[in-house]
Structure 1
Amino acid sequence: MVFLPFVVLAFLVRGSLCDIPGKPGKKVINGLEHSPLTEVSAVVGGRAVLPCDVKPPTPGDAPILVLFYNGATGTPIYSIDARTGPLTRSVHWSDLESRAHFDVTSEPQGLVIDDVMAIDDGDYRCRVDFRSSPTRNLRVKLLVIVPPERVSISNSGGLEVSGVIGPYPVGRTLTLTCEVQGGKPRPQVSWWHEGSLLDDSIETASGDVTRNVLKLPNLTRQHLYRVLTCQTSNSNMSLPLAATVTLDMSCESEWSLDFRCCFDVFGEY
């Protein structure tokens, strides 16, 4: 990749940043007020395409300079100097190094960012200068999705549990806390049993931790071997995380021995 000297690039930018060709007296402050906004979502580690239409509005015209800014009037992060030839054979400069390239053959056209990072989240502006047509500005908001890092289940004593837990006596109130680390936007946390939703309310959320507390009052023998699943997700673009526990029940209730439970479980006592 050939790099365009930043001094030359800065001169080109300053020469036309504030005046819009074909619109005398029109000033650009913090980007064009009425430039269209496109929202793009991408998952960390994935690929994002920031659309930028470089097709000239009139026949015979051609783009001579393409600039991508991080922010409305921020520092250029990508440029194409097409004054001496078509975009496909022009000088490309990238502040994102090999993570970015401009694709003029796909639909939509735009800046392709690979291995998306959390710091890539934000507002961008694409500016296209043509030989004779007015400058075109397009705004893009990149929403970077950071999937949750970890999901865990803890008991009422605050100890992390997994697999088969218990045994719990009949009549007991079971309290389990599902805790999810990370995630942007903040993830949804829900409890499930065999495809049936038990609880999808978030009781506490602080920092990068989101919690959902499940309470099952008055356990019965029907809870024996019941599988409880805590599931979390913050986007349909990534797979949800889940943690599962299986309840074990004892025949002894909190007050006496439950003979019916023993017969149901073991066949005979």
Structure 2
Amino acid sequence: MSKTTSIIGNFLCIFRLDARDDSQESPVEWIDEKLLGKRVVFMRNENPAILMFNLVERDDENIYYCRADFKHTPTRNIKVNLTVTIPPEKVMIIDVNDSHIKDYKLGPFNEGTSVNITCEATGVPNVTWWLENTLLDKSMDYITIHSDDPYHFWHNITKMKVRNVLHIDKIERKSLNAVYTCQATNSQLMHPISSSITLDVNRK
């Protein structure tokens, strides 16, 4: 096996195996443990060879390039896009001041007024508002959380939070004690997580 193989994430080399020196009993391996820890193993005896991630983390999501350099033949490259599905971590309903709503009760509001209720979730899920079994709102805004950590160079791709603002126009008397539920999900394989609030209304 007269070649060297490099696995490159975002143009940083994270793994290298050099088998070009026929005098060596085994190929020389190098892995960036500061970046990946000991979770990654290169299984060169498999056909084809496998770079295995144990206990995949959100920061592993990236585009990886495998480059094979040979002694006498052209270099070969292949690109793999690793997508990590992250379950929603939490759902929080907040008021206009971005504060958590205490006791999960919002109001009281006078009839005829309007109100915005914000639901915020982490993990890049789909965030929706429901009134019992009726879907009210599925619009979302994505907010990226940047990281200055140079060893998590794709952190800002997956570190995000999602907001869905429910606008209730002209609150009615029938809205008294109505329960509004925010759901967050990003996979059909998992149940959504949710949080609910009860609306308090002053009757005229």
Q: Do both share a fold (TM > 0.5)? A: yes
Q: 1:130 to 1:237 in 2, by over 3 A?
A: farther
Offset at residue 152 of structure 1 (A): 1.9
What is the aligned counterpart of 2:55 among 77, 94, 115? 115
Partner of 2:38, secondary structure, is helix
Identity among equivalent pairs (%):
32
Quote the Cα distance in structure 2 between the aligned partners of 1:170 and 1:240: 32
Instruction: Give the match for residue 142 of structure 1.
Output: 82
8 Å contact kept, 1:66–1:126: no
What is the aligned counterpart of 2:175 among 197, 205, 223? 223
Offset at residue 112 of structure 1 (A): 0.7
Partner of 1:116, secondary structure, is coil
Are positions 1:200 and 2:138 aligned together? yes
User: RMSD between aligned alpha carbons?
Assistant: 4.0
What is the aligned counterpart of 2:166 among 214, 217, 220? 214
Q: Which fold has the larger relative contact order, with Cα–Cα distance below 8 Å and residues 6 or more apart in sequence?
A: 2
Quote the Cα distance in structure 2 between the aligned partners of 1:237 and 1:117: 18
Correspondence list, 1:230-241, <5 A = 230-234=182-186, 240-241=192-193
Offset at residue 108 of structure 1 (A): 7.3
Question: Which amino acid counterpart does residue 112 of structure 1 have in structure 2?
Answer: M
Instruction: Give the match for residue 27 of structure 1.
Output: none
Instruction: Give the match for residue 190 of structure 1.
Output: 128
Instruction: Give the match for residue 93 of structure 2.
Output: 153
8 Å contact kept, 2:3–2:71: no
Question: Which amino acid counterpart does residue 32 of structure 2 have in structure 1?
Answer: D
Instruction: Give the match for residue 35 of structure 1.
Output: none
Offset at residue 135 of structure 1 (A): 6.2
Correspondence list, 1:241-252, <5 A = 241-250=193-202, 252=203
8 Å contact kept, 2:129–2:137: yes
8 Å contact kept, 2:8–2:66: no
What is the aligned counterpart of 1:179 among 95, 120, 123? 120
In the comparison of the two structures, how many residue pairs are matched? 182
Instruction: Give the match for residue 148 of structure 2.
Output: none
Question: Which amino acid counterpart does residue 95 of structure 2 have in structure 1?
Answer: N
Offset at residue 245 of structure 1 (A): 0.9
8 Å contact kept, 1:190–1:231: yes
Partner of 2:174, secondary structure, is helix
What is the aligned counterpart of 1:94 among 13, 25, 31? 31
Rg larger for: 1
